[in-house]
Amino acid sequence: MVDLVASEFSRRVHRVKDLALLSSADEKSPAHLTALHAALTDAERVAELLEGRLEDERAHLKTLQDAYDASVKAQQETISPLVAIASRVCTGTANLTHAACEGGKESPHNPQPQPPVAAVAGRKDTNRRQVPAIRKVTEHELNSVPQYQRGRLSLDRLNRAIDALDAFLVRKYRLLDTSPDKLRTADDIRDAHAYRKGESRDLRKYICFSDDDAKTIDAIRLDATGRCVLSCLRALRRIHVVKVGGCSMMTYALTRDTADQ
């Protein structure tokens, strides 16, 4: 708006100059003088209007400056307490660090007392149970098992199942006898919890596995062939059934006198 008024004022001034030149060159006629007077009057009016607009702009700028100063002051009042708190925190941290360093310097003649170490709950790794390897089956032994018990089970298939069962039992009792806080993988933690849940006080004296355990062993799986595997191992006294407290599932323990020494 100010630019528009200034442009109009400039145009009126040029009009006055043009009329003044005509008046100096020609005879000062009444018409020229009237036009010159009118142009000067218009220029004065526009000048007054321009002055008013400029005054309004100065007032608006002053309002904006006051608002900006108030905003800066409010931000400073908000930030100052936070800066003071941060300064106190940094000072306190530095003092604590210095005190800790000074406290850590023990005199050889006046050692500092040490805090008690809390005991960690869990099983001791030094009390691990030994898992004997199951002795492999020979061709003669397999042929001695009645046909209805061994079915069409081959010697190679039976001995592969024994290897898989050996590996399962070694891992099972390693997890059972390892402190829970030392287990690292999710599978180990999950399986160890399940094994501990299924191991009663009476079963702790055996190296054993259940039907549910057998279902997780690839070489057994408790299908038709897997059941023949368990039947042969029972018939050959590699394992025997353990009955504990009316347990609804079968539990098999290794027969120690037939395990590899």
- For residue range 208-247, what is the model confidence (pLDDT) as tens digits? 999 999 999 999 988 999 999 999 999 999 999 998 765 5
| CA proximity to 176, closest of 203, 214, 149 | 203
Residue 78 in domain: yes
Query: Are 41 and 74 contained in the same domain?
Result: yes
Q: What is the pLDDT of residues 44-92, one digit of tens each?
A: 787 777 777 777 878 887 888 888 888 878 877 777 677 667 667 666 6
Q: Kindly report the CATH number assigned to the domain that includes residue 215.
A: 1.10.10.1890
Query: Are 97 and 130 contained in the same domain?
Result: no
Q: Which domain range does residue 205 map to?
A: 125-258
Q: How many structural domains is the chain composed of?
A: 2
Query: How far apart, in whole angstroms, are the C-alpha atoms of residue 55 and residue 49?
Result: 10
Look at 170 and 221; give whichever has higher pLDDT.
170
Edge to edge, the sheet with strand 239-242 lists 208-210, 251-254, 239-242
Domain end call among 44, 72, 103: 103
Query: Are 142 and 212 contained in the same domain?
Result: yes
Query: Are 63 and 166 contained in the same domain?
Result: no
